[in-house]
Amino acid sequence: MLTSTMQPRPLLVRDIMRRGEAYCADSKVITVFADHYTESTYAEVAQRATRLASGLKAHGVSSGDRVGTFLWNNQTHLEAYLAIPSMGAVLHTLNVRLFPEQLAYVINHAEDSVIIVDDVIVELLGRVTDQLTTVKLFIVAGDGDASVLPGHVVRYEDLLASAEDSFEWPTFEEDTAAAMCYTSGTTGNPKGVVYSHRSTYLHSLAETASGSLGISEQDRILIVVPMFHANAWGTPYSAWMVGADIVMPQQYLTGEALARIIGDTRPSISCGVPTIWNSLLAWSSSHDVDLSSLRSVIAGGSSVPETLITEFEQRHGITITQGWGMTETSPLAAVAIPPAHRSKGDVTDYRLKAGRVVPGVEVRVVSPGGDVLDPDGVSVGEFEVRGPWVTASYYRDEDLASFHDGWLKTGDVGTLDARGYMAITDRTKDVIKSGGEWISSVEIENVVMSHPGVFEACVVAVPDERWFERPLVCVVYAPNSQVPFAELREFIAPLIAHWWLPERWCEMEVIPKTSVGKFDKKVIRAMHERGELTVTMFEEGSL
C-alpha cells in the first residue's frame, strides 16, 4: 500500500471549541430563567470555559479523569461540554431524572472525581451522596443552598474567578475518551458509552450537512432535548462548530414556557421529544403564540404521530422532521428528510419514517436467526448499526449480546427500504417470535385499535408449544361496546399477514402502564404467567 502525504491531524473537541471561539466570537448563548434571560457571546463562554479548565486542573483534575455534570441545559453546561474534553478529561453527563440507586451506580461505576451541579437540583444529588465512593469535589453553579452536599464544595463562580485565564490545551490521540453517557434501560444497571474525540468531531460535522440538521451560523437553535441525555443529540457541539446562536431553556419545558421562549428569542431550529411538541401544540391551540421564527423542528426519542406533523404544518407552517438514534450512536444515525423528486403525497409517508440513514452510518436489518435481510421495505428484523460514531462495547461491561459481527444490535425492530429509510415497528423485547419469524406487537395493536368498538389494545408474546411464541391480544372496550373477539378477528384478518392472526384474546378493564404512560408489557406477561387473565382461545388458522 501507498501512504498518503496528508497531515496526521487528530480530530479533537478542542478544535471544535477553537473554531467557535476564533471565528464566531460574537455569536450568542442565551439561558432562560424564570423571569429573565442571560446572554453571553461565544468569546465570553470560551473565556469562561478556559477558566473552568484551569480551575479544574488546580483542583487536581487531570487527563482521563471523569467530571460529572448534574445540570440543566444552560451556559454552565455548555462551558463544561467545551472545557472538560478539551483539557483531556472526560465529561460524564448525569441524567437528573435517574432513580437515586441508578444515579449512585453510574457515578461510582464511572468513578467520577468531581461533579458540577445546578443549585436548584442539589437536593436530588444530595439524596445519594452517602453512597458515592469516588467523588472528591462538588462544584455548585448558582448561589442557592447547597448544605446537603458533604465534604469539599466550591461555588462555580468562585472557582472561575480564582482560576487563570489561559490554559495550555494538550494534544492526544483522537480515540481518547471525550465524554460518557449511560443508557437508562428499564431493567438491569445502566450501561456506559464512552465517546471519543474522533466520534464527537465526526458526529458534529455530520450534523451540519444540509441533508441532516443542516445547522449553520445563520441559525439560532433552541436546545430542548436535555444535555444530560445523549448529549442533547450532539447539538451543542455542532452549533458551536458553526457559530449558531444557542438558546438554553433549563427546566422551563412546558408548552406555555416554550411558547414564551420561542416568541421572545426567535430560534430558527429546535430539537426535542414528540411529547414536548405535543404540549406546545396543545398550548398554542388556546393561546396566542408566535412560532414563526422556526424553520425546522427535529423530533426523536420516540415515534412521531402523524397528527403532530400535520397540525404543526397546517397551523404553524412548521416542518417537523423525525430523527433516529440512541445513546450508543452518539446519537444521530438517521433523519427523515424525504428523498428528492417525490410527490407531495409521498412526502408525508417519508416524514413518518424514523429516519433515513445519514452518511457515515450503516444500518442493516437482521432476522431472528441472524440472517441479513434485504432492504426492501418489507422484511422485518432487528436494526443493526455500524459506523465511526457507534459504540463497539459498553464501558467496563461484558455484555456481548448487544453486538453482532462488529455491528451494534439496537433492540429496535422494523424495515429498511431501498432508499435507506427506517420504519420501526417494535422493540425486540416486545416482538413475538413465532416459528422463526417475527410478529410486530405494535402493528397488531394498531389494527385492533382501529376498530371503533375498541378503546385500547395491547399485544404481548406468550409461550406456545408449537410456534415458541404467539400473540395475546388484551382489549379494553370503548364505552358501551362489547364486540365479540371473533368479530374483531374477522375485522383485522385482511389487515395483517395471515399467519400473524392471534388465537388468544382477553378483555381488560385497563391496560397496565409504565410511569411514562407506555403499555407495561412486562406486567401483562407476568399476569398471564400467573394465570390471572381469562383467555379465549381460537383454533389456529380458523376465522
Instruction: Find where cell 441545559 sits.
Output: 73
Active site residue 539: no
The nearer residue to a copy of itself, 272 or 387, going by C-beta atoms, is 387
Give yes or no for a contact between 459 and 473, defined as CB atoms under 8 angstroms apart: yes
The nearer residue to a copy of itself, 152 or 396, going by C-beta atoms, is 396
First to last CA, the chain: 65
Give the total residue count for the chain.
Answer: 543
- Would you call 50 helix, strand, or coil by DSSP? helix
Q: Given 31, 93, 176, 183, which residue is catalytic?
A: 183
17 alpha carbon, distance to own chain's centre: 23
Give yes or no for a contact between 462 and 450, defined as CB atoms under 8 angstroms apart: no
Active site residue 328: yes
Q: Which residues, in sequence order, are CB contacts of 246 under 8 Å at separation 6+? A: 27, 28, 29, 30, 78, 220, 221, 223, 236, 239, 240
The nearer residue to a copy of itself, 123 or 399, going by C-beta atoms, is 399
Grid cell locating 165:
485565564
- Residue 205 CB coordination number (10 Å): 17
The nearer residue to a copy of itself, 206 or 444, going by C-beta atoms, is 206
Instruction: Find where cell 417475527 sits.
Output: 438
Give yes or no for a contact between 29 and 75, defined as CB atoms under 8 angstroms apart: yes
- Residue 152 CB coordination number (10 Å): 12
| CA separation for the pair 181, 196 (Å, rounded) | 12
CA angle 316, 268, 355 (to 5 degrees): 80
Which of the 8 DSSP states describes residue 353?
A: S
Orientation angle between helical segments 255-265 and 274-286, nearest 10 degrees: 80
Q: Given 174, 311, 328, 443, which residue is catalytic?
A: 328
Q: How far is the CB of 53 from a copy of itself (least distance, A)?
A: 16
Which of the 8 DSSP states describes residue 467?
A: T
The nearer residue to a copy of itself, 220 or 229, going by C-beta atoms, is 220
Orientation angle between helical segments 344-351 and 306-316, nearest 10 degrees: 130
| CA separation for the pair 234, 250 (Å, rounded) | 17
Instruction: Find where cell 478539551 sits.
Output: 86
Q: How far is the CB of 329 from a copy of itself (least distance, A)?
A: 10
Q: How far is the CB of 110 from a copy of itself (least distance, A)?
A: 10
Q: Given 136, 409, 433, 522, which residue is catalytic?
A: 433
Active site residue 382: no
Q: How far is the CB of 221 from a copy of itself (least distance, A)?
A: 12
Q: How far is the CB of 386 from a copy of itself (least distance, A)?
A: 6
Give yes or no for a contact between 355 and 335, defined as CB atoms under 8 angstroms apart: yes
The nearer residue to a copy of itself, 196 or 440, going by C-beta atoms, is 196
Q: How far is the CB of 388 from a copy of itself (least distance, A)?
A: 4
| CA separation for the pair 66, 55 (Å, rounded) | 15
The nearer residue to a copy of itself, 6 or 510, going by C-beta atoms, is 6
Q: Given 438, 443, 445, 500, which residue is catalytic?
A: 438
Active site residue 505: no
The nearer residue to a copy of itself, 209 or 508, going by C-beta atoms, is 209
Q: How far is the CB of 409 from a copy of itself (least distance, A)?
A: 13
403 alpha carbon, distance to own chain's centre: 20
Q: How far is the CB of 63 from a copy of itself (least distance, A)?
A: 5
Return the active site residues. Answer: 183, 328, 433, 438
